[in-house]
Structure 1
Amino acid sequence: MGQILSAPVTEKHSTCGKNERFAYGASAMQGWRTTMDDAHTTLLAVESTEGIAFFAVYDGHGGSEVARICSKDLHKKIISEPTFVKGDLKSAFKDGFLTMDQALRDNPEARSKPSGCTAITAMINNENILYVGNLGDSRAILSCDGKFISLSHEHKPDNIDESIRINNAGGYVSSGRVNGSLALSRAFGDFDYKSNEMLDPDQQIVIAIPDVMERELTEKDEFMVLACDGIWDCIGAQRVVDFVRNRVVEKVPLETICERLMDQCLPKEVTPLNYTGTDNMTMIIVAFLNGRTLEEWYENIIQRATEQARVQRENVKSTVAPGVNKPKRKWFFGRFGR
Structure 2
Amino acid sequence: MPLKEQGSKEGGAVAGAVAGRSLFSFVPSVIGDVINVEKTVKRCLLDTFKHTDEEFLKQASSQKPAWKDGSTATCVLAVDNTLYIANLGDSRAILCRYNEESQKHAALSLSKEHNPTQYEERMRIQKAEERQRNRSRSRAWPILAAGLAVSVPPSLMVKEESEQKTLANSYSRDPGERLTQQQEDGSLIDGQVERRGEQSSLEWDGRVLGVLEVSRSIGDGQYKRCGVTSVPDIRRCQLTPNDRFILLACDGLFKVFTPEEAVNFILSCLEDEKIQSREGKPTADARYEAACNRLANKAVQRGSADNVTVMVVRIGH
Same fold (TM over 0.5): yes
Give the 5 Å matches for 1:1-338.
24-30=1-7, 36-37=8-9, 61-81=10-30, 87=37, 88-108=40-60, 112-125=66-79, 127-145=80-98, 146-170=105-129, 172-195=202-225, 205-251=227-273, 252=275, 253-267=287-301, 276-289=303-316, 297=317
Cα distance between partner residues in 2 of 1:82 and 1:267: 42
SS in 1 for 2:2: strand
Taking only aligned residues, the RMSD between alpha carbons, in angstroms, comes to 2.1
User: 1:247 and 1:214, CA in 2 relative to 1: closer, same or farther beyond 3 A?
Assistant: same
CA contact (8 A) 2:107 2:263 kept: yes
SS in 2 for 1:282: strand
Residue 321 (structure 1) aligns with: none
Cα distance between partner residues in 2 of 1:82 and 1:248: 34
Residue 335 (structure 1) aligns with: none
AA aligned opposite 2:13: S
Percent of pairs with identical residues: 30
Tell me the matched-pair count: 223
Q: C-alpha displacement at 1:159, in angstroms?
A: 1.0
SS in 1 for 2:247: strand
Hey, which bits of structure 1, 4+ residues long, moved more than 6 A? none
Cα distance between partner residues in 2 of 1:28 and 1:132: 21
Q: C-alpha displacement at 1:81, in angstroms?
A: 3.1
For structure 1, the residue ranges without an aligned partner over 5 or more in a row are: 1-23, 31-35, 38-60, 196-203, 269-275, 290-296, 298-338
SS in 2 for 1:264: helix
CA contact (8 A) 1:79 1:92 kept: no
Q: C-alpha displacement at 1:108, in angstroms?
A: 4.2
Cα distance between partner residues in 2 of 1:183 and 1:221: 32
User: 1:156 and 1:101, CA in 2 relative to 1: closer, same or farther beyond 3 A?
Assistant: same
User: 1:25 and 1:108, CA in 2 relative to 1: closer, same or farther beyond 3 A?
Assistant: closer
Cα distance between partner residues in 1 of 2:33 and 2:122: 31
User: 1:110 and 1:144, CA in 2 relative to 1: closer, same or farther beyond 3 A?
Assistant: farther
Cα distance between partner residues in 1 of 2:209 and 2:59: 25
User: 1:178 and 1:83, CA in 2 relative to 1: closer, same or farther beyond 3 A?
Assistant: farther
CA deviations on 1:129-174 (whole Å, 9 max, x unpaired) are 2111110001010111111110001001121111111122126111
SS in 2 for 1:72: helix
Structure with the largest fraction of strand: 1
SS in 2 for 1:157: coil
AA aligned opposite 1:265: A
SS in 1 for 2:52: helix
The TM-score with structure 1 as length reference comes to 0.62
SS in 2 for 1:162: helix
Cα distance between partner residues in 1 of 2:301 and 2:25: 37
Cα distance between partner residues in 2 of 1:213 and 1:262: 26
Cα distance between partner residues in 1 of 2:62 and 2:49: 15
CA deviations on 1:272-320 (whole Å, 9 max, x unpaired) are xxxx51111110111112xxxxxxx3xxxxxxxxxxxxxxxxxxxxxxx
CA contact (8 A) 2:75 2:87 kept: yes
Cα distance between partner residues in 1 of 2:255 and 2:242: 27
User: 1:165 and 1:134, CA in 2 relative to 1: closer, same or farther beyond 3 A?
Assistant: same
Cα distance between partner residues in 1 of 2:292 and 2:59: 33
SS in 1 for 2:19: helix
AA aligned opposite 2:96: S
User: 1:95 and 1:164, CA in 2 relative to 1: closer, same or farther beyond 3 A?
Assistant: same
Q: C-alpha displacement at 1:85, in angstroms?
A: 5.3
CA contact (8 A) 2:2 2:312 kept: yes
SS in 2 for 1:192: helix
User: 1:85 and 1:95, CA in 2 relative to 1: closer, same or farther beyond 3 A?
Assistant: farther
Cα distance between partner residues in 1 of 2:67 and 2:119: 30
For structure 2, the residue ranges without an aligned partner over 5 or more in a row are: 99-104, 130-200, 276-286
Residue 309 (structure 1) aligns with: none
Q: C-alpha displacement at 1:73, in angstroms?
A: 1.1
The TM-score with structure 2 as length reference comes to 0.66
SS in 2 for 1:208: coil
